[in-house]
Amino acid sequence: MKPLKTYAVLPSLPEALEPLRRVATDLHWAWAHDAIALLRRLDDELWEQSGHNPVAMLGIVSQDRLNEAAADPAFLAHLDRVATSFDRYRQRENTWFQRTHGDDNGLLVAYCSAEFGLTECLSIFAGGLGILAGDHLKSASDLGIPLVGVGLLYQEGYFRQRLNQAGWQQEHYIQNDVHNLPVQQERNGDGEPVSIEVPFPDRSVKAYVWRADVGRITLYLLDTNHPDNDEVDRAITRQLYGGDGENRLRQEIVLGIGGVRALDAVGVEPTVFHMNEGHSAFLVLEYIRKLMESEGMDFAAAREAAAGIVFTTHTPVPAGHDYFSPELIQRYLGHYATAVGIGIDDLLAMGRKHPSDDAEQFCNTVVGLRSAATSNGVSRLHGAVSRQMWQELWPELPVDEVPIGSVTNGVHFESWISVELKELYDRYLGPQWTDEPAETTVWSRAASIPPAELWRTHQLRRNRLVSFTRRKLAESLASRGAPQSEIDIADVVLDPNALTIGFSRRFATYKRATLLLRDPDRLASILNNSERPVQIIYAGKAHPQDDEGKELIRSIIELARRRPDLRRRLVFIADYDMAVTRSMVQGSDVWLNTPVRPLEASGTSGMKAAANGVLNLSTLDGWWDEAYEPDVGWAIGRRETYTDDKARDDFEAHALYDLLEREVVPLFYDRGVDGLPRRWIERMQASSEKLNSQYNTHRMVREYTERYYLPVSDRRARLLADDCKRARALAEWRQRVTAAWPHLRVVEVLADGHNGTLLVDEEVEVQARVHLGDLTPADVTVELYGGVVTADGEIADGVPLAMELADTDPVGRGEWMFRTAAAFQRTGQSGFTIRVLPSHPDLASPMIPGLIAWA
C-alpha cells in the first residue's frame, strides 16, 4: 500500500541535548574518540544495535533516557566538550593548507569515486578502494584542503556475509534506510529536493543529490531511486557493483556524467577532478561538453581546456579494470558523441589502447590515462607495474618513461588507532601526532614511551580482540545452525596471552589467504607449542562471483573443524567490516600479508596495523616493498620471480614457517625478569618511528595537493584565461603537429670518433640533423637518450639530455641541426640514440602517444 503523503520524522530531543543532532549528522564523529564515547555513554547497547549509527540510535533511544541524560550534569558537560571541540574544528582557520598555500589560489578539487568507506553504518563501499577514499576525505578535512567528494548512494550497499554450515559464503543485502543515515537530501532555495538528469538512450534518468558532511568536507551522493524513473533505472544505484556489465556501465555514466551535473546543480565549480580509479571516467565527456557549451569551443579545443584532471589507478590485475563492448558504448553514448560533434569511432578511440582497432573493447582506465594531466599508481612498485601494464599506450617510450607516477597510499590514523594508544600518544608525542602525523620529528619521540606502558596498553587491546572474536564466532555459529556444543567452544577459543596473528582483507586468490595453512602439521606444531603458543584470526569477504575466493574461506573453516588440535587456535570471523578491521589491527601482534608479488597495488591494512604498533610480516609487495627494514618487521622472500606458481607458493610457505619458528615466535616470548618482551617492544617503537610519518593519508593528501592539485589547477586557469585563448591555440597546435609528425625524421647523427672508446666522464660532441618539414624547432624538443647497453643491444635505464639548436637557420629544406655534449658515468658498454618529442609550453606532458620519433 503506497502512502498518500510522507514525512521525515526526527527524534524529539530535549533542548539541552540539541547539540547532539549536530554531532550525529556530521561524520566527524567517526574519527573523534570523545564523540563516540559520548554516544556510548547515552546508550552503549543501542550504539551496538544501531550498527554504530548515531542518527538511527537517536531515533530509537527512549524519551525517558533522553530526559534522564538532559538532567545529568556529567553527561551535559561531556556533550558540551564534544560540541565545543567539533565547532572549534569546523571553524579553525589556521589549517595546514591555509598556512602553506593561503586562500586566494582558487583551488577546488572534486574527488570522484564509486565507493567511500567512511564508517561502517554508511554501507557504500566494498573494500580497500573505498576505505582509501574515505580516509582521503578525512585527511583533506583535517588539512583544510578545498575539496568535495562525489559518489553514489546505494540502496543496498555491499553485501553482508553469512557462512552456511559447510563454511560456504552466502550474501545477503540490507536495505539502506537513507532517512536514518548520517546523510541529508540536498534541497534548493524552495525546499525542494535537488535532482539532476543524465542522458540515456531514448530517455533521461533522474537522480537525487544527497549530502554527507565529513568535517570540513562535503560528499555529494547520487541516487537514481527517483519516482520519475522506471524500475530498471531506479535500480541503477541499488547495489554497489551490482547487476551485469550493462548495469555497471549505467552506474558509471551516472557517476561520471551525473557527478559533474550534480556539482553544477549545487553551485560547485571544481578546478580539478580527481578520478579515484576509472569508474568515474565519463566525467571527461561531460567536462568537455560543458566547456563547448559555455565557451563556444569545438571538441578539440574543449578537450585541451578540460585540463584539470588527475587520475589514480589502483589495480595491477587486468581483470580489475572495466571493459565494455563497442556495441554497448555505442548504444549508451552514441547520442552523446553526436551532441559533442564527434563520431562514435572518435569516442571509442578515447578508451582503446589501439585507437584504430575496431575489435578492441572500451576501457575506462584508458580514458583516464589519455585524458588526465597527471596519472599515478598507489605505491612505488605499483607505479612501475602500471607503467609496464599500460606501455602499449606509449609504444615509442621505454617503460620507465611512461607518464604514470606514484603516490603511495596512507591511512587516517585517528580512524584506526585505539583510544588507549591515542591516550598514550597524546601523553608522550604531544598533540602534533594528530595535527601533523606526516612530520618525522613527531614519531622520533616513540622511543620515549615507557616499554611497560606500551606493552600494558597492547595487552589490553589483545584481550579485547579475543573477547570480540569469541562473541562474533558464537553469533556466526548460531546463525548457521551449528550444534550448541560447537557454539559453546566459542567461549574458550584463543588465549589472551598468546602470540596473535591477524589476517583480514578481501579474499581474492592472489592474496593467498591460505599460504600459512599449506602444511597443516607444521602449522599445528607452531600453534600448539605449550611454552610458546600461537593463534591466528582470519576475516574477509570474497566477491559474490568469486567461487575460488569462497573456497579459500571454506577451507579455513573446514580445517579448524576437522583438526581438533587447531580448533581453538584458528578462527575465522564472519561478516568482515570496518569494526572487525579496527579490532584486528588494534589487537593483533603480527599482521600477515601474503600476496603474489607484484599483484598488491598498495595494501593499507598493514599500515593500520603499524600505526597501532603491530608488526608486519609480509611478502615484499605494495607498500611493504618500499617500507620494509629488518628492524620494523619481517619480509617473506626477497623479491624473487617464479615461472611455476606451485614452486613459488611452496617456497614462500616454507619461508613463512621458518620466520615464525626461528624469529617471530622466539622474539615474542623472549621475556626479561620483569615479564616484558623488550626486544619485541623495541621493534614496535622502531616501526612507529620509521613508518608512521610516511604511511598516513595526511602525507598522501599533502603530496597530491602539492604535486598534482595545485599545478593542474594553475594550468587549467592559464588555458581558460582570456576567452580560452591558450586552450584554443593548443588545440590548433596539436592538430598541426599531429598532421606534420609522420614526415618528421632524424636524418643524420654525427659524433666525435674517439675510436669507439671513452673515459668515464669524458665528453663526446653529438650533432643531429632533423627534418622537421612544416614544423619549427619551437614545436619540438630534440634529446640525446643515453645509457648502459645490455647484452641484447638495448639501452637500459636511459637518461635524456636536451639538445640545443645549433643554428638559427635551417641547413636545408625543413632540416635543422641540433647539438649537445654527452658523457657516461659508468665503465662498460654504453651508447646513445636521438629522439624528438613535441614541445609546447601548455602541454601537461610531452609524452603524447604517436608523437615520439626515434633515430
pLDDT in tens, 556-596: 999 999 999 999 999 999 999 999 999 999 999 999 999 99
> What's the average model confidence in pLDDT over 224-237?
96
Stretch (H or E) spanning 42: helix 33-42
Question: Which pLDDT score is estimated for 425?
Answer: 96
> What's the average model confidence in pLDDT over 708-712?
97
CA dist list (Å): 818 to 75, 344, 823, 846, 853: 78, 42, 17, 18, 15
Tell me how crowded residue 646 is: count the other CB atoms within 10 A of its CB: 8
Confidence band for 693, pLDDT divided at 50, 70 and 90: very high
Residue 241 φ/ψ, nearest 5 degrees: 55, 25
Angle value at C-alpha 256, between 254 and 260, nearest 5 degrees: 100
Question: In the structure grid, which three cell numbers stand for residue 287, read together?
Answer: 567536462
Parallel, antiparallel or unpaired: strands 570-573 and 534-539:
parallel
- For the entire predicted model, the pTM comes to 0.96
Query: Could you tell me the sign of the dihedral formed by the alpha carbons of 48, 53, 59, 65, in that order?
Result: positive
Tell me how crowded residue 159 is: count the other CB atoms within 10 A of its CB: 22
Question: Which pLDDT score is estimated for 349?
Answer: 96
Residue 725 φ/ψ, nearest 5 degrees: -55, -45
Residue 197 φ/ψ, nearest 5 degrees: -120, 140
**DSSP states of 575-594:** S--HHHHHHHHHH-SEEEE-
- How far is C-alpha 702 from the geometric centre of its chain's CA atoms? 15
Q: What residues contact residue 66 under an 8 Å CB cut-off, 6+ apart?
A: 11, 12, 13, 14, 17
Question: Which pLDDT score is estimated for 32?
Answer: 97
Question: Which pLDDT score is estimated for 6?
Answer: 58
- What string of H, E and C letters represents the secondary structure of 252-278? HHHHHHHHHHHHHHCCCCCCEEEEECH
| Cβ atoms of residues 782 and 768 within 8 Å | yes
Say if residue 93's pLDDT is above 90. Answer: no
pLDDT in tens, 7-48: 555 668 999 999 999 999 999 999 999 999 999 999 999 999
Say if residue 405's pLDDT is above 90. Answer: yes
Q: Locate cell 556524467: which residue?
A: 257
> What's the average model confidence in pLDDT over 83-102?
94
Question: In the structure grid, which three cell numbers stand for residue 42, read together?
Answer: 547515552
Question: Which pLDDT score is estimated for 525?
Answer: 97
Terminal CA-CA length for the chain:
76
| Cβ atoms of residues 821 and 763 within 8 Å | yes
Q: Edge to edge, what strands does the sheet with 853-854 contain?
A: 795-802, 780-789, 830-838, 853-854
CA dist list (Å): 559 to 501, 517, 556, 685: 17, 9, 5, 36
| Cβ atoms of residues 581 and 605 within 8 Å | yes
Residue 487 φ/ψ, nearest 5 degrees: -65, -40
Question: Which pLDDT score is estimated for 374?
Answer: 97
Distance CA 150, CA 186 (A): 13
pLDDT in tens, 344-372: 999 999 999 999 999 999 999 999 999 99
- What string of H, E and C letters represents the secondary structure of 729-770? HHHHHHHHHHHHHHHCEEEEEEECCHHHCCCCCCCEEEEEEE
> What's the average model confidence in pLDDT over 384-412?
96
Residue type at 273?
F
Question: In the structure grid, which three cell numbers stand for residue 53, read together?
Answer: 549509527
Give me the torsion for CA of 431, 436, 438, 441, rounded to 10°. Answer: -60
Distance CA 552, CA 567 (A): 17
Question: Which pLDDT score is estimated for 828?
Answer: 86
Q: Out of 261-270, 481-490, 827-836, pick the least confident.
A: 481-490
**DSSP states of 139-162:** HHHHHT--EEEEEE--SS-SPEEE
> Hey, is 353 helix, strand or coil?
coil
Mean model confidence pLDDT for the chain = 94
Give me the torsion for CA of 725, 730, 732, 736, rounded to 10°. Answer: 160
pLDDT in tens, 632-657: 999 999 998 899 999 999 999 999 99
Distance CA 220, CA 266 (A): 9
Strand partners, 501: 536, 590
Confidence band for 481, pLDDT divided at 50, 70 and 90: confident
Distance CA 559, CA 551 (A): 12
Strand partners, 152: 222
Question: In the structure grid, which three cell numbers stand for residue 28, read together?
Answer: 566527524
Residue 71 φ/ψ, nearest 5 degrees: -100, 5
Confidence band for 2, pLDDT divided at 50, 70 and 90: low
Strand partners, 171: 161
Parallel, antiparallel or unpaired: strands 499-504 and 590-593:
parallel
Say if residue 5's pLDDT is above 70. Answer: no
The answer, yes or no, to whether the previous bond of 598 is cis (omega within 30 of 0) is yes
> Hey, is 808 helix, strand or coil?
coil
Question: Which pLDDT score is estimated for 4?
Answer: 61
> What's the average model confidence in pLDDT over 284-291?
96
Say if residue 758's pLDDT is above 90. Answer: no
Say if residue 400's pLDDT is above 70. Answer: yes
Considering the chain, what percentage of its residues have pLDDT values greater than 70?
98
Question: Which pLDDT score is estimated for 317?
Answer: 82
Give the burial string for 654-687 (b: 16+ CB within 10 Å, else e). ebbbebbbeebbebbbeeeeeebbeebbebbbbb
Say if residue 191's pLDDT is above 90. Answer: yes
Closest-CA residue to 435 (of 410, 414, 420): 414
pLDDT in tens, 292-303: 999 999 999 999
Question: Which pLDDT score is estimated for 12?
Answer: 81
Say if residue 786's pLDDT is above 70. Answer: yes
- What string of H, E and C letters represents the secondary structure of 456-474? HHHHHHHHHHHHHHHHHHH
**DSSP states of 429-460:** H-THHHH-TT-HHHHGGGGGS-HHHHHHHHHH
Question: In the structure grid, which three cell numbers stand for residue 376, read together?
Answer: 599515478
Question: Which pLDDT score is estimated for 8?
Answer: 59
Distance CA 96, CA 145 (A): 8
